[in-house]
Homo-oligomer: A and B are copies of this chain.
């Protein structure tokens, strides 16, 4: 393939998707063009992340990818909150958490496992991430149980939501301090050492500065295309009679996570499974411990507090995803069947949400 072909297609499909969006073309046309464009921008983001990860180390690279990937989701959610669509926000948060833990992680382990028999990564990081996911589930579960079993006023629910949200944000900041500063080497990937001994198979095509620039640029492009796609979905799906819950939790989340998705699979197939897990698990941790609590504060400052109480099936979907993901990641060793199990659970949840 010619070297200039890929960037050219990236720019052309992106521009076409933008034109289709702002010219208010037929939603189905918009959807098709944006869907093609998202493949190229996600691929671009994946290469940029990989290049940054080369300079920054797998873990920081994974964190950057998760953060840039979730920036899009945060922006979309803030728009939804301004319109008071709290249920859609919670559905897309739920979908984002289970999408990362089941679909992104599952596809990465499966794709990586088809190429490599067993892939290993730092077991301490796996254990800690799993525990932190349990804390996130508890933070959603406890307020819901207290609300259902006892008569708490709306004001008390808001207070509880804000306090829990504050605690979660502090926990997340402490996690960054722990994982990036005090215990950075303790959580380093086992493959990092070997890499420094072995000659690199692929030298990155871009310099450090250019990689960072492309990472930011690619993130912005992904955010824009995602938004255009989401905009078409509402009109598009009403014709097929899909429920808002299914659209929010599955379609929006799959498209919104396209960036993490492509980057994580690409890294897994290059045997950098540690970075794949970091992207998938790190992204869902960021959604649960940072994005969701920030949205609660945003809603508070815009006048009407969104409470932290998710619906029963959302809670069950999140809890179930955390349990199976924790069970699979905790030994620090992965294979294709573990990926398949995550995908199986994702499909079962998808079918169930679809039928509601």
Would you give the 0/1 interface string for A132-164, flagging 1 where the beta carbon is closer than 8 Å to chain B? 101100110111011001101000100110011
The B-contacting residues of A in range 114-131, CB under 8 angstroms, are 117-118, 123-124, 127-128, 130-131
Task: State the copy count for this chain.
Answer: 3
Judged by DSSP, the binding face of A is helix
Contacts of A79 in B (CB 8 A): none
Also in contact, A123 and B331, with CB within 8 A (given A174-B337, A183-B117, A336-B182): yes
B324 touches A327 (CB 8 A): no
B313 touches A145 (CB 8 A): yes
Stretch at the interface among A222-230, A274-282, A344-352: A344-352
Indicate whether A312 reaches chain B with its CB closer than 8 angstroms.
Answer: yes
Task: Flag whether A67 is at the interface (Cβ < 8 A).
Answer: no
Expressed in whole angstroms, the Cα–Cα distance for A141 and B317 within the complex equals: 10
Tell me the complex Cα distance, A76–B324, Å.
Answer: 32
Q: A123-B331, A348-B164, A351-B164 are in contact. Are A135 and B313 (CB under 8 A)?
A: no
Does A178 belong to the interface (CB within 8 Å)? Answer: yes
A159 touching B355, Cβ below 8 Å:
yes
Q: Assess the A152–B348 pair: CB atoms within 8 A.
A: no
Chain B residues lying within 8 Å of A340, measured Cβ to Cβ, are 171, 174
Give the complex CA separation of A156 and B355 in angstroms.
Answer: 7
Inter-chain contacts of A312 with B (CB < 8 A): 145, 149
Residues 279-331 (chain A) with a chain B CB within 8 angstroms: 311-313, 316-317, 320, 323-324, 326-328, 330-331
A191 within 8 A of B: no
A206 proximity list for chain B (CB < 8 A): none
A-B pairs with the 9 shortest C-beta distances? A178-B337, A131-B327, A127-B331, A146-B352, A149-B312, A145-B316, A150-B356, A138-B320, A131-B328
